[in-house]
Chain A
Amino acid sequence: MIKVDDLHKNFGKLEVLKGITTSIKEGEVVAIIGPSGSGKSTFLRCLNLLEIPTSGQIWISDYKVTDKKTNIMKIRQNVGMVFQHFHLFPHKTVMENLTYAPIKVKGLSKQEAEKIGMDLLDRVGLSDKAKEYPTRLSGGQKQRVAIARALAMQPSVMLFDEPTSALDPEMVKEVLDVMKSLAHTGMTMAIVTHEMGFAREVADRVLFLDGGQLVEDAPPIEFFENPKSQRAQDFLQKML
């Protein structure tokens, strides 16, 4: 589904990613964890070209993302992304947030888009908020809308960039629950997170990044019970 080969990313002189090679299978849920500055967000943002890789190759469902000839817009339509700070469109209602891209980018009719939108709002438990503006929602509600907005494009991969890091503690669960149920539908997901409990419970694999390198790639039980590298052991010790 996703293949990454020797991915490098520099910001000026700073080398953030130092050659990452990995792959994600269809339907797999992968948690990407690591200390801040380890490059995990940059890695995720390279997957839909919000950051342009310095070198290396990325394939997503048979499209070579890093090929200049590939239509980036088409790739992005197929890869949903959820941000730490939600980034809902504040001048549009919840429903308009969900239907904007399907109508304007995919060319769906308003009725089709709203039907999909309503189903999704139901799924994230916010069908009563369709006509509200985002400013009226709590952080947890905003993030659930943001997930629904990404799903409205019916992507085959979902990327989550620290989706619960900006939330008040009591709102983390409602967002994680939505993500959990999404994982159960067989969605391919890559999640940058600090929620170790969630990673352990939901992820099929854990990628541990440190200093721009992929240090460990293991099933969660193995990673949390028996981390092989010293760096992962140190990291996990600090987390608890």
Chain B
Amino acid sequence: MNLDFGQFIPSIPYILKGIKVTLQIVILAGILGFALGIILSFFKISTVKVLGWLADAYTSVFRGTPLVLQLMLIYYGSPQIFGYQIEPYTAAILSFAMNSAAYISEIIRAGILAVDKGQKEAAMALGVPYGKMMWDIIMPQALKNILPALMNEFITLTKESAIVTTIGVTDVMRRSYQAGADNFSFFEPLIIAGLIYYIMVMVLTILGKALERRMRRSD
């Protein structure tokens, strides 16, 4: 095998700058997706049937079509949807947030349903209103149980963010590809990109484990 990483040393700072781009997209999309996921999960367990149907339809559409299609629909469709062309960066955050919200809402719904029914009754019997009960009593217990599943979702998001390369966002993936094109050799820069993604996912995993330990204090 003929590997020559030496010729890519000048490109490495350029590729590394992509980490910031990737992280920005992942973090913003993660936060937005999580918030939207919570709202959708509350719709799904709501006694108001219409809200449940809406949330189910949403999940069905976003889970039933490819992420790369959603990304392109939002990016190339933005003049028709919003009336002007949005930035690729914005399109990436929007589509990833909306896509992961579909998955996260299912995870959270399962987590809420798994909390012992008695917890709700105990809170109700103390006169705790619904909002406070969900926020202070039910959600902390649900989140503790679904943390591993949520971490999976964020890891997937981090890796799948590489498809923003298709609409021209200069993330880690695109920069590596460009470095390859400049040198007429793709193998080495793609290995570098792979390493970067792997390290990002490892850091995320370690953070998740630390968070899980913290939440298991009460066990």
- A150 beta carbon closer than 8 Å to chain B: yes
Would you call A76 and B127 a contact (CB within 8 A)?
yes
Which A residues from 135 to 165 make CB contacts under 8 A with B? Answer: 135, 149-150, 153
Q: Which residues of B contact A115 (CB under 8 A)?
A: none
If over half of B's interface residues share one DSSP class (helix, strand or loop), that class is named, otherwise mixed; here it is helix
Chain B residues 112 to 152 lying within 8 A of chain A, measured CB to CB, are 116, 118-119, 121-122, 124-129, 132, 136-137, 140-141, 144
> Given A90-B218, A91-B141: A153 and B122 within 8 A (CB)?
no
Find the residue from B124, B137, B218 having the highest chain A CB count within 10 A. Answer: B218
Q: Distance in Å from the Cβ of B141 to the closest Cβ of chain A?
A: 6
With a cutoff of 8 Å between Cβ atoms, the chain B residues found around residue A101 in the complex are 126-128
Q: In the bound complex, do residue B127 and residue A87 qualify as a contact, i.e. CB atoms below 8 Å apart? A: no
The residues of A that contact B218 with a CB separation of less than 8 Å are 90-93, 133-135
The verdict on A238 contacting chain B, using a C-beta distance below 8 Å, is no
Which residues of chain B are near A149, meaning CB under 8 Å? 126
B219 within 8 A of A: yes
A85 to B129, CA, bound (A): 22
Interface residues of A toward B: which range? 20 to 34
B125 & A73 in contact (Cβ 8 Å cutoff)? no
Residue pair B121, A105 in contact (C-beta under 8 Å): no
Contact B136 A100 (CB under 8 A): yes
A103: min CB distance to chain B, Å:
10
Complex Cα gap A105–B140 (Å): 18
Given contacts A87-B116, A87-B119, A100-B136, contact A80 B125 (CB under 8 A): yes
CB closest chain-A residue, reference B120: A87
Asked whether, in the complex, the Cβ of A90 is within 8 Å of the Cβ of B141, the reply is yes
Is B118 a contact partner of A85 (Cβ separation < 8 A)?
yes
Answer yes or no: A104 CB below 8 A from chain B CBs. yes
Decide yes or no whether A81 CB sits under 8 A from chain B.
Answer: yes
Q: Which residues of B contact A81 (CB under 8 A)?
A: 122, 125
User: What are 26 A-B pairs at a CB distance below 8 A?
Assistant: A48-B125, A50-B121, A73-B127, A76-B125, A76-B126, A77-B126, A80-B125, A81-B125, A83-B121, A85-B118, A87-B116, A87-B121, A87-B122, A91-B141, A91-B218, A100-B126, A100-B136, A101-B127, A101-B128, A105-B126, A105-B128, A105-B129, A134-B218, A135-B219, A150-B125, A153-B127
Kindly list 10 other residue pairs between chains A and B, CB separation below 8 angstroms, not including A77-B127, A92-B218.
A50-B121, A73-B127, A91-B140, A100-B126, A101-B126, A104-B132, A104-B136, A105-B132, A135-B219, A150-B126
